[in-house]
Chains A and B, each alone.
Chain A
Amino acid sequence: MSASQVPVGGTGVLEVKNLVKDFTVRSGWKRSKLRAVNEVSFTLEPGKTIALVGESGSGKSTVARMIAQLETPTTGEIHLDGRAIARHGDALARYRHAVQMVFQDPFASLNPYHTVGHHLERPLKIHGVAKGDDLEPAVHALLERVNLTPGEVFAAKRPHEMSGGQRQRVAIARALAPGARFLVADEPVSMLDVSIRLGVLNLLARLQREENLGVLYITHDLATARHFSDEILVMYRGNVVERGPSDEVILNPQHDYTKTLLAAAPEPSRHGKLRDEVRAELAGNA
């Protein structure tokens, strides 16, 4: 968590170059290729946030899984600190040390069988951040950093005893545990109650400032993307159809899909319009 744990050359960027992912789709005897991600490139810098926006199935989660090395890209490369990333062994462990991920569903990403403490101890141990007697205080400190106080109470809990927001905080703490420099957040608030989304996002933003994290924020919500990120990439059917500084993309959308996306967001000035329309229609029928 301190500068001393950052490996040598740890000030570089995470670069994604022409990433392509094809999935083989089988239906009966027929096999066809589905291109989930097509030639996606971007550069994630420390302290910066890139938002990847798109509808379900647009390939944004696949990009996240490829960066987290849960999927292998069909073609294209991912570079960390200017070097192509490793897929095996110690070099992969070093990569995981630098790049971590927060999953979408906090009800699925924590093992129901293990305590919160276990979830945080393991990455601390694996990445040599703390061991032995230091482990417990380190776990408690992590929990307190994500506003789960007192740490020792939450460390003893198991996932089902916590709310969605609390679970997602644990998931964020777990991603921070190795002392990562880059964080892939795959729709981190989409499964949470609307009332606690902002809290979790503000927490992420605070941690980002504290650790100078590079964040890839994946979402389908343009409003939070604008609130949270420096740059927005809009994905549609595997392609990046629009990219640019956040305000630019929101205020001056170029691509049709971005315009549709913006129009789909509820607009304060239209509040009550829909209700009035329904009422008028009902009155007309009567």
Chain B
Amino acid sequence: MAKGALRQLLPSRSGKLTTGLVIVIGITLFAIIAPFFTQNPRSSQNPAMLPPGADHLLGTTSLGYDVFAQLAEGARSSLLVGVTAGAIAIVLSIIFGIVAGYVGGWTDAGLRLVTNIMLVIPAIPLQIVVASYLQKRSLVLVAVILGVLGWAGGAVVLRSMALSLRTRDYVSAAKVAGEKTWRIILVEIMPNLLPLLAAQFLFAVILAILNEAGLSYLGLGPNNSITWGTILNDAQGGSALTRGAWWWFVPPGVLIALFGCGMSLINFAIDEIINPKLRSAPQAAKRVRKAGGDVVVNAEQEPEKVNA
């Protein structure tokens, strides 16, 4: 790929993008590096319910686990679930969205039927049912459940994009040149959808992390794994709230919120590539507001003029 092509795909530098990247990269680095330096998150040798201090940066739980160690291990598993589920979801939405939109006809009808069914099934209750049906849930299994149940919205958007792209002249031209269908989809259509796909992937990752936290909080998360959600579940079980152990439940909650916020900020920056109008939207809105204000002022002045 040419350098120019890459550059065009990258979002322009902005406050949103920088903030988002700093948050996301920071949390990712924390997930990768921190577990090497913390104590074993499964060791309960520490005194229980210690508030944050020099020995235990974020204190300990009611069972004597080190919260900082659990947080670092939890970041690893939560991100792993998020990325795996996001990847599964994006691949499924490509298959069900782009293929349906491009191929059309009966293929479209069939794929769209599945998409619509997935769309109307409420995801969280279904996840609860599936997760509670499976007794042994590994981290990967939870990620697969979340990914398989979380692609339908993206597929609808991709299908409509593919519907619009398939009638473009350059797709017709590729057909006339003799390109095969799969190559047209992968080489001619997909690159033009890359910003959209990136945005959808990020969104799918956030959704998976949030859903995993939700499932874990309900006690339906992965067994024998520590994620941000299971820490919250433990905190709930250990009645951290009533005992005032804020260091137990605040850090995982804040990390989930921060990560979602960072990903969303990156997403906004990507949105600006897809729709360049958004780049100037804040200024435009300000200008309109100003102009609107002027009009009001004029309207107020006018009666005076009439009186005079």
- What is A's interface to B at a CB cutoff of 8 Å? 65, 68-70, 93, 96-97, 100-101, 103-105, 108-115, 122-123, 126-127, 156, 158, 161, 171, 174-175, 177-178
Q: Which of B71-79, B166-174, B235-243 contacts A (4 or more CB under 8 A)?
A: B166-174
Q: What 1/0 mask marks residues of chain B from 176 to 196 whose CB sits below 8 Å from any chain A CB? A: 111100000001100110000
Over the window 152-171 of chain B, the binary record of Cβ atoms lying under 8 Å from chain A Cβ atoms (1 yes, 0 no) is 00000000000000001110
B interface, CB within 8 angstroms of A: 2, 4-5, 168-170, 172-179, 187-188, 191-192
CB atoms of B169 and A123 under 8 A apart: no
Known contacts A108-B168, A111-B188, A158 near B177 by CB under 8 Å: no
> Known interface pairs A115-B2, A158-B2. Does A108 touch B170 (Cβ–Cβ under 8 Å)?
yes
A126 in contact with B177 (CB, 8 Å):
yes
Q: How far is the CB of A76 from chain B (nearest CB, A)?
A: 20
- A156, B172: Cα distance in complex, Å: 23
By a CB distance below 8 angstroms, the chain B residues around A104 are: 169
Given A126-B179, A174-B177, 13 additional A-B pairs, CB 8 A: A70-B172, A96-B176, A103-B172, A103-B173, A109-B169, A109-B170, A110-B173, A115-B2, A123-B178, A126-B178, A127-B178, A158-B2, A178-B177
CB distance from B270 to the nearest CB of A (A): 16
Q: Are A105 and B169 in contact (CB under 8 A)?
A: yes
Chain B residues whose CB sits within 8 angstroms of the CB of A175 once the complex forms: 176
User: B4 to nearest A CB, angstroms?
Assistant: 6
Q: How many A-B residue pairs have CB under 8 A?
A: 68
Which residues of the partner chain B approach A174 to less than 8 Å between Cβ atoms?
173, 177
Contact partner of B177 among A65, A115, A122, CB < 8 A? Answer: A122
Given contacts A103-B169, A108-B170, A111-B170, contact A158 B176 (CB under 8 A): no
Residue contact B168 to A68, C-beta cutoff 8 Å: no
B187 cross-chain contacts in A, Cβ below 8 A: 114
Shortest B45–chain A CB gap in Å is 57
Contact A113 B178 (CB under 8 A): no
Docked pose: A146 CA to B212 CA in angstroms = 58
A69 to B4, CA, bound (A): 34
Contact A113–B172 (Cβ < 8 Å) = no
- Of A69, A104, A111, A171, most B-chain CB atoms within 10 Å: A111
Q: Are A110 and B170 in contact (CB under 8 A)?
A: yes
Query: For residue B192, which residues in chain A have a CB less than 8 angstroms away from its CB?
Result: 111-113
Interchain CB contact under 8 A, A122 and B174 = yes
CA distance A113 to B173 in the complex (A): 14
B177 engages A96 (CB within 8 Å) = yes
Q: Is the CB of A70 within 8 A of B175?
A: yes
List 21 A-B pairs, Cβ < 8 Å. A68-B176, A96-B176, A101-B173, A103-B169, A108-B168, A108-B169, A108-B170, A109-B170, A110-B173, A111-B174, A112-B170, A114-B5, A114-B191, A115-B5, A122-B177, A122-B179, A126-B178, A158-B5, A175-B176, A178-B177, A178-B178
Expressed in whole angstroms, the Cα–Cα distance for A161 and B8 within the complex equals 12
A126 to B178, CA, bound (A): 7
Minimal Cβ-Cβ distance residue in B for A180: B176
Contact (Cβ within 8 A) B176 A70: yes
Q: Chain B contacts of A96 at CB under 8 A?
A: 176-178
Among B2, B173, B178, find the residue whose CB has the most chain A CB atoms closer than 10 A.
B173
Q: How far is the CB of B104 from chain A (nearest CB, A)?
A: 13
With both chains docked as a complex, state the minimum distance between the C-beta of B300 and any C-beta of chain A, in angstroms. Answer: 39
Residues of chain A within 8 A (CB-CB) of B176 are: 68-70, 96, 100-101, 175
Residues in A with CB closer than 8 Å to B2 are 115, 156, 158
Chain A residues lying within 8 Å of B4, measured Cβ to Cβ, are: 158, 161
